[in-house]
Structure 1
Amino acid sequence: MSAPLALGLFAGRVLSEQWAVHYGTSLVTAVLLSGGLTALAFFCLRQHALRQTWPLLLLFGYVFYPQPYPQAAVVVGILVSAVLIQQFSPSRQMIPAQHALKLGVFGCLVLFGMLYLFTLAPGLLPADNGEFQLVGATLGVAHPPGFPLYTLLSKLMTWLPLAATAAYKINLLSLFTSTATLGLVYLTVFRLTNRHFAAGTAVLSLGTATTFWAQATTANIRSLTAFFAALAIFALIRHQQEKAQTDRYLVLLAAALSFGFTHHLSLAFMGLVFGLSLLLIDPQFFRTPARWKRPFLAALLGLLPLIYLPLRAGADVPGASDGLDTLSGFLNHFLALGFQGDFFYFVQPVVLWPRLQVMANVLTFQFSPWLLAGALLGLVWLLRRNWRLGLLLGGSFALHTLVTATYRAPQTVEYMLPAYLPVAIGVGLACGFLRDFVSQRPDSWRGLALLGTAVLLTAALIQGWQHWPSFRWLHHNEDARDYAQTILDNAPPDSLILANWHWATPLWYLQSVENERPDVTIEYVAPGEGVYSQTWVSEIEEGLRNGRSVIATYVDETTYTALPPADPLGEALLFRQNPRTELPASFTPLSLTFGDGVQVLGYALEQNDVEIGLEARLTLAWQGAATTPFFVHLLDETGSIVAQADVPAVPQPEGITLTQFRLTPRQRPGEFSLRLGSGPDFSEIGTLQVNLASLPPATQNPMYRPYLDETHRWTLVGYDWDDTMGGNRIYLHWKTEGGYFSSTMDNPLAPTVRDLVSPWGIPQDFWLIPTPTSPQHYVPLGNGIVWVGSSLTDRADFNSLMTLSPDMTVELPAKFINGRPLLRDYVVSTRLVGYEADNFTWAWCDLVDGVPAMGGIPTLKWIQGSRVQSPRTVIFPPRTDPASFTGFCQSEKPAPGAPILFVDNAATPGQTVGGILRLYDAFTNRPLPILDERITAVTSWIPLGEATIGE
């Protein structure tokens, strides 16, 4: 009786809660629906014994769930379905084994081929991705090691008879290589477990992992690297299973490793494990030279793509150089000797340990914790049953992860792609071994095994469900083309465009492949030994001396003060040779006078509407003789400021000056007034429509509580507490029919929300929001990023500050959650500041600036739901062995890249010490706006709490 009861009550609760959302709440409705569905369940299951229907008991998990939460109901429903599917085993006569395997692989290829097609990047991409599109379309030469095989395959893709750009067709190459990799994973897991359920779960785990999905939908060389790694693993496993019969899989292994090594030498580390595994699996091979011929010939095939590099030496194509046809030039490029200093960069314990912590974050960035636990279980089980294959998978994962941890790479999540293969295979092994483990045990054990494998499948499906909105959003985004096109469309004739690597490649692509603006010169400004911003100043000055207008994609306002004033051009700067004499045609004319003769001529909004939390850019046209402090405020109907920008604008020596303002509205939608002013003078100049966010805000407490007010069909989807500024603020996150927004309550005596739907769709007059038992932080920033880290104050006693004493270490990690896919590279900037007696002036400080997670997880890789932690450690050295400072705020770290903030030996007992943090754009150095008016009214940094210096 319990199974039908669970099904009836589950269906009754789900339907009652949805009925309440759409048609209104009623206890009678809930009773009638639940009673009727329960009776129907008893009728339908009356002929089935509990041993058949016991999985339905899991539905009680949602029946007794304390909150109405459709996502929880979906999870429980998938879990029960997964168990029931496993109970149904089609007879071998229905689908023969060989046909079933082919059908499984084919289904995997079709399913993920369609998934990746619907989320494929629509065209042009920045940075390395843009370079691969460029060299593939032009048969150029990519940066070391050159990737000749990938370049040739990319060129083949451009010949596809599709009405699409070359960039899009090259993106398709990653779709094919990634789906092929998944097909190999399916075959590998099936051959190890003989279970399609296990193979399918492994494929789902890998195919929906964050970085694997991202690489499958963009032009990149990592997907091909993963393919060769998967092929080598498959070949080794099959060779162990069939080595007595044939060496055909050794031939396949040799080809996979050879093509893999010549494609990217990073596979060499896995190759060491593969070689050792082959020695253990088939030692006779190394003692039988007669067996070497066929693998040797297969390996020679992998060398053929290298011929491409010297053949392109001196060709008039991107990336080609004259030295490629010399032995030294070829080896320098193919072996990437220019990057050899990046290998084993993080080897000292003081940096290796935090890097290993980063690697753990890299894995949780990809996979559900349930899947990681399953992978560990599967690999441990494999070690016990077949230690040679366990060494193959576990050893390749461990060695590749360790080497990547020591490698100074700006995109560790991508370098780790081959290591994700053993993780996914381990998940499949866990599914298979769980079933094998209980095959000879009582039915109760069998039920546990079915439940365990169902949990892994459910986790993989939910992982894909959570990642889908981000990649679907990216499918419609043409950010790189929009940025580059704006520059090329507005560049003066014969101008010089100076670009960092991120934007150089899409600019080159548009010029070389789509023949845009052949009159302009596009130059990449590479980092050198000196200060990077000074390099840009020198390049800009040289271009201006040569009589050319110069566009710079890198912005450093402090360093650029020595240069002539520049016009904003999108996110870049335009240094003009000739003064602007006319108002741009796209500007709205104004006739305003501020101060001593400052004439405001017009303005332009780059967009007429903007989502909550995203940036709107307003450009002002004006004339004046002196630097003018302008401000632009975005005002609601009460006159309260919801966004503001203050800019000390420097005038052009002649003509019209253009000045850009950046506004990021917070929390709620509406039509807001734009107020322009300078000093006491101001004027309303227009309006800006702020729309609901299209993606839900990041939250640490997701939920689903519909609002009963029929005029506001809102649903509470999360809440967060913040006590960063001393008081308690609670953020309430709402979903409406048109999108998402957040509201706040400050220092509530009784934090309640009234008139919500409760379980079973029953009305609830008020709901008391759970209060935290420990300090909580939630500081929203622009573009959906939220700081949720810890502060020094969190460790303080009540009514007193924490004391920092010599020989003391405090961990202060910078933690973030993210609400939307990011398209810009942000740097996490952290300071430890010792204040003067006024508690404002900086007496001393130390800094750690860097890409999040010690460079391992750039914000460019973040999607909705990403959680990233950047290690930070505060150290107060002994007075007898103080830290060395080379300048103000510049300490000597014990090892390069160490995320350590030192207390200066100049710190005095009783002195107040504070931590502060902010994010800034790596290309423009502009801080990411903090969307908490309590903080911005006091400082431009997120406060990380204060402490006092002890004796």
Structure 2
Amino acid sequence: MWPQSKDKITATLAPLSLGLFAGRVLSEQWAVYYPVNTAVASWAIALILTLLLSAFAEFILRQHPLRQTWPLLLLLAYVVYPEPNLLVAGGVGLVCTAVLLQMIPLPAKILSASRRFKLGLLGTVLLFGLLYFFTLAPGLLPADNGEFQLVGATLGVAHPPGFPLYTLLSKLITWLPIAATAAYKINLLSAVTSVATLALVYLTVFDLTKRPFAAGTAVLTLGTATTFWAQATTANIRSLTALFAALAIFALVRHQQHKAHTDRYLILFAAALSFGFTHHLSLAFMGLVFGICLLLMDPSFLRTPSRWKRPLLAALAGLLPLLYLPLRAGADVPGASDGLNTLSGFLNHFLALGFQGDFFYYIKPIVLWPRLQVMGNVLTFQFSPWLLAGALLGLLWLLRKDWQLGLLLGGSFFLHTLVTATYRAPQTVEYMLPAYLPIAIGVGLAMGYLRDFVAQRPNSWRGLALLGTAVLLAAALIQGWQRWPSFRWLHGVEDARDYAQTILDGAPPDSLILANWHWATPLWYLQTVEGQRPDVTIEYVAPGEGSYSLTWVSEIEDGLRNGRTVVTTYLDEAAYSALPPAEPLGEALLFRQTPRTELPASFTPLSLTFGDGVRVLGYALEQNEVEIGLEARLTLAWQGTATTPFFVHLLDEKGTIVAQADVQAIPQPEGISLTQFRLTPRKGPGEFTLRLGSGTEFIEIGTLTVNYASLPPATQNRMYRPVVKGNYGLTLVGYDWDTTMPGQSRLYYHWKSSFGYISTVDDGLNQPAMSEIVMPWGIPQPYWVVPLPELGDHYVPLGQGIVWTGNSLSDLQMAISPDNQFAIPMQFINGRPQLRDYVVSTRFVGYAEDNFTWVWCDLVDGIPAMGGIPTLKWISGSQVQSPRTVVFPPRTEPASFTGFCQSEKPAPGAPILYVDSSATDGQTAAALLVLYDAFTNRPLPILDERITDVTSWIPMGEIKIED
């Protein structure tokens, strides 16, 4: 009797799980789109839907025993989940589906093993070919990417080591018969090489596991990694480096399996390594591990000279691209120089001897340890934690099963990561690209070994292994889903062309354009490749021994003395104070030789007078509409004889200031002056009023449309809580508390609507609550209490979607005494892809008795994550840490300062803030933070009026000095 009852009960478990899951999901969506007035009606709808779906599930599954349908029990994870969240439901459903698919036997007659292999390989090429095509950068790019587009289109010579093979391939793809610019076609080359890399990863994992499912998951892991995807859609040399590394790994794996029969994979390995070395010598460190593993796998190779000939010839073939460099010496193309046809000039360029000081830059323990922590952040920046755990499992399993291959993958990853950690490079995430290969392969190995585990263990263990493989697959798919919006958005943005085109269109005839590297390359491309503005001179201003700002001042002064109108892309207000007044040209500055006598045609005329003879002639608004949190630029045309304090306010319908810009405008000696104002609205949407004023006088001059944000805001507490009444289509997608200002708490609500995203704030709430929020099963809850803030909750939004979420010194609730130190956690979360390079600037200051005046201070300015993860690489959802350490040396060994706020660091690049020896017992010290544009020195606006009303810095708390 009991066995029969037990069978009946267990037979209903799977249908019941499916019915409950489907009933809950459908009930919650019903409540969103077809809301009802009472909780009783909501309960009735949920009950009816669940009963109907459960009955249907029972009908379709009645012939299937639990041993076939048990994965449906996983759906109960969402049934008991405490919040309604469609994304969580989708993730649970994805894991369940992945387990079920693995349990379905595929008869060899329908889909043989060889066909599954070929189908997986073809799917890899097609899927990622389409993915990268639809997210490909649309054209011109800045910095090194722009240089590669320039030299590829002109057969020029890139910066050391020259990248001759990449240049030749770039030129080849520009002949592709499609209606597109050369820049776009060269971007397309990266997609081709990246897809080829993924195909090799697929082949490698399949060789090691014989499972297409495992190989496909490895491909998904690598292909959707942040930097790999970014490189696959932009002109760069890293994708080709990864291709040669993948080819070398594939060849070694194949050689181990076939060395008894042929050396053809050894020949392929030699060619891959040789072409890789001549493309970029950074592969030498991986190559060292590869070479050691080759000798361990095939010790007879070293003892058999007769086998050396063909690999040696293949290696020599890899040297052929180097002939390109001396052949282009003296040619009238970008980057070429006469010295390339001399031995010393060739070696200096190919070996990049000018960069040799960057190797092993971070080697002292005091700086190496934080760099190694940064490398951990680099990995989490790329991959889901689940995938990193899977990779570790797979590599450890491989090391146990085949230690030689384990050494190949694990050793190459470890050595390349260690060397990269010591290398001073502003793109660590890109230099690490070859090291991402062993991670992806490790994930595939974990999948394969778990599947083997399934075949060798009883059912109880089999289910656990199937669940593990399903979680890894789901993590890879979700990783891609999360990255897609950012890269799709970047597909529609051509920022570099817009920036450079504005300068070329607005520069007067025969101008001298001084540019930093970031903007020099797209300017050169437009002039050289597209033939624009041959009359202007574009010069790159390189950093020198002294102050970079003073170098710019010298270059500007030289240009003006020579009678040239000068345009500069680098800004430093303090350094330029002694120069003639400049006017804005887009985001650059224009130093005129002749006064402006007419209002620009694009300006809206005005006829206003402020103060004593200041005449306002017109204005131009570069953007008629802007998203919340993004910048709008307004340029004012005016005439006056003295420095004039102007302001522009952006006002909502209640007259509240939602953005403002205050400028001390310096007039031109003659003619019309132009002054630029930058406004970043912190709220919206709506039609906001522009108010222009000076002193106590002001007038409304126009409007600016502020739209919903197109990408979700960064949040530390993501959720999915639809509103039932009054705000149809409005969903709470996150909330954040900020306790940065002493004694004040602010709650940020993040909403999604049918038009986009918006954030609202509430201040001073003792018990914040929401009404009419959809709860589990679609039941409206009239009163939902938001969790209260905890010590250390910080959320300070900045312009462009960046948010500071680090800890405050005040949270430590301690004092600092001599011979002591502590870390300041510097963490940022990001809401949208970044198009500018921002510097993280921190100060540790000692206050006077007024608790305002700085008596002493120290600073650390640098690219985030010690240069490892520049903001230019950030996308939506990125989380980046930038380490800082406060050190109070012993009184007997005080820190050495070369000037105010300028301490001597114990090692180059050390992110250390010293307490000055003049610090006194009981003195208040504080940490301050600001982000500023690396090329314009303009600070990124803080979108919290509570902070900006009292300071221009983010206050990171105070601490007492204690002897």
TM interval, short-chain normalised:
over 0.9
Matched, 1:89 2:105: yes
CA positional deviation for 1:710 = 4.1
What amino acid does structure 2 have at the position aligned with 1:747? Answer: G
Measure, in 1, the Cα distance between the counterparts of 2:60 and 2:683: 49
8 Å contact 2:792–2:808 — kept in the other structure? Answer: no
Q: Alpha-carbon deviations, 1:390-411, whole Å to 9, x = none?
A: 0000000000000000000000
Measure, in 2, the Cα distance between the counterparts of 1:251 and 1:101: 25
Matches within 5 A, 1:404-553: 404-553=420-569
Matches within 5 A, 1:340-379: 340-379=356-395
State the partner residue of 1:906: 918
CA positional deviation for 1:774 = 2.9
Matched, 1:855 2:872: no
The share of aligned pairs that are identical, in percent, is 77
What amino acid does structure 2 have at the position aligned with 1:21? Answer: V
Query: Of the candidates 772, 797, 820, which is equivalent to residue 808 of structure 1?
Result: 820
| 2:230 alignment partner, SS class | helix
8 Å contact 2:208–2:445 — kept in the other structure? Answer: yes
State the partner residue of 2:677: 661
Deviates more, 1:706-715 or 1:204-213: 706-715
CA positional deviation for 1:440 = 1.9
Matched, 1:752 2:769: yes
8 Å contact 2:454–2:466 — kept in the other structure? Answer: no
Measure, in 1, the Cα distance between the counterparts of 2:884 and 2:769: 36
CA positional deviation for 1:873 = 0.4
8 Å contact 2:845–2:856 — kept in the other structure? Answer: yes
State the partner residue of 1:771: 788
Q: Alpha-carbon deviations, 1:146-177, whole Å to 9, x = none?
A: 00000000000000000000000000100100
Matches within 5 A, 1:727-876: 727-796=744-813, 802-876=814-888
What amino acid does structure 2 have at the position aligned with 1:292? Answer: W
TM-score by length of 2: 0.98
Matched, 1:24 2:35: yes
Query: Of the candidates 177, 185, 202, which is equivalent to residue 169 of structure 1?
Result: 185
Measure, in 2, the Cα distance between the counterparts of 1:166 and 1:395: 39
Q: Alpha-carbon deviations, 1:256-285, whole Å to 9, x = none?
A: 000000000000000000000001000100
Measure, in 1, the Cα distance between the counterparts of 2:269 and 2:834: 38
Q: Alpha-carbon deviations, 1:903-926, whole Å to 9, x = none?
A: 001000010000000100000000
What amino acid does structure 2 have at the position aligned with 1:280? Answer: L
State the partner residue of 1:639: 655
Measure, in 1, the Cα distance between the counterparts of 2:260 and 2:187: 41
Query: Of the candidates 380, 399, 403, which is equivalent to residue 387 of structure 1?
Result: 403
Measure, in 2, the Cα distance between the counterparts of 1:833 and 1:193: 58
TM-score by length of 1: 0.99
Superposition RMSD in Å: 0.7
What amino acid does structure 2 have at the position aligned with 1:23? Answer: Y
What amino acid does structure 2 have at the position aligned with 1:833? Answer: V
Query: Of the candidates 575, 588, 595, which is equivalent to residue 591 of structure 2?
Result: 575
What amino acid does structure 2 have at the position aligned with 1:296? Answer: L
Measure, in 2, the Cα distance between the counterparts of 1:19 and 1:708: 10
What amino acid does structure 1 have at the position aligned with 2:225? Answer: A
Measure, in 2, the Cα distance between the counterparts of 1:508 and 1:939: 41
State the partner residue of 1:10: 21
CA positional deviation for 1:441 = 1.4
Measure, in 2, the Cα distance between the counterparts of 1:471 and 1:587: 35
Matched, 1:329 2:341: no
8 Å contact 2:617–2:637 — kept in the other structure? Answer: yes
Measure, in 1, the Cα distance between the counterparts of 2:163 and 2:456: 51
| 2:480 alignment partner, SS class | helix
CA positional deviation for 1:712 = 4.3
8 Å contact 1:668–1:743 — kept in the other structure? Answer: no
Matches within 5 A, 1:123-162: 123-162=139-178
Query: Of the candidates 899, 905, 908, which is equivalent to residue 896 of structure 1?
Result: 908
What amino acid does structure 2 have at the position aligned with 1:312? Answer: R
Matched, 1:297 2:316: no
Measure, in 1, the Cα distance between the counterparts of 2:378 and 2:329: 38
Matches within 5 A, 1:177-326: 177-326=193-342
Displacement over 6 Å in runs of 4+: none
What amino acid does structure 1 have at the position aligned with 2:716? Answer: Q
Q: Alpha-carbon deviations, 1:759-811, whole Å to 9, x = none?
A: 11111101101123332000000000000001100111xxxxx3111111111
Measure, in 2, the Cα distance between the counterparts of 1:895 and 1:120: 41
| 2:88 alignment partner, SS class | helix
State the partner residue of 2:687: 671
What amino acid does structure 2 have at the position aligned with 1:520? Answer: V
Deviates more, 1:638-647 or 1:414-423: 638-647
| 2:895 alignment partner, SS class | coil
Deviates more, 1:828-837 or 1:671-680: 671-680
State the partner residue of 1:698: 714
Measure, in 2, the Cα distance between the counterparts of 1:363 and 1:811: 22
CA positional deviation for 1:711 = 4.6
Measure, in 2, the Cα distance between the counterparts of 1:548 and 1:709: 65
Query: Of the candidates 934, 938, 962, which is equivalent to residue 922 of structure 1?
Result: 934
What amino acid does structure 2 have at the position aligned with 1:643? Answer: A
Q: Alpha-carbon deviations, 1:536-595, whole Å to 9, x = none?
A: 001011111111100000000110011111110110000011000011111111111111
CA positional deviation for 1:437 = 2.5
State the partner residue of 1:882: 894
State the partner residue of 1:799: none
What amino acid does structure 1 have at the position aligned with 2:443? Answer: V
8 Å contact 1:617–1:661 — kept in the other structure? Answer: yes
| 1:843 alignment partner, SS class | strand
Measure, in 2, the Cα distance between the counterparts of 1:745 and 1:291: 75
Measure, in 1, the Cα distance between the counterparts of 2:728 and 2:702: 28
State the partner residue of 1:937: 949
Measure, in 1, the Cα distance between the counterparts of 2:156 and 2:391: 41
8 Å contact 2:884–2:911 — kept in the other structure? Answer: yes
8 Å contact 2:152–2:168 — kept in the other structure? Answer: yes
CA positional deviation for 1:813 = 2.1
What amino acid does structure 1 have at the position aligned with 2:15? Answer: P
| 2:822 alignment partner, SS class | strand
Measure, in 2, the Cα distance between the counterparts of 1:803 and 1:440: 59
Deviates more, 1:764-773 or 1:877-886: 764-773
| 1:439 alignment partner, SS class | helix
Matched, 1:681 2:697: yes
Measure, in 2, the Cα distance between the counterparts of 1:454 and 1:33: 29
Measure, in 1, the Cα distance between the counterparts of 2:147 and 2:190: 15
8 Å contact 1:631–1:645 — kept in the other structure? Answer: yes
CA positional deviation for 1:93 = 2.8
Measure, in 1, the Cα distance between the counterparts of 2:281 and 2:598: 56
Measure, in 1, the Cα distance between the counterparts of 2:664 and 2:230: 41
| 2:190 alignment partner, SS class | helix
| 1:719 alignment partner, SS class | strand
Query: Of the candidates 708, 713, 724, which is equivalent to residue 708 of structure 1?
Result: 724
Measure, in 1, the Cα distance between the counterparts of 2:892 and 2:554: 44
State the partner residue of 2:4: none
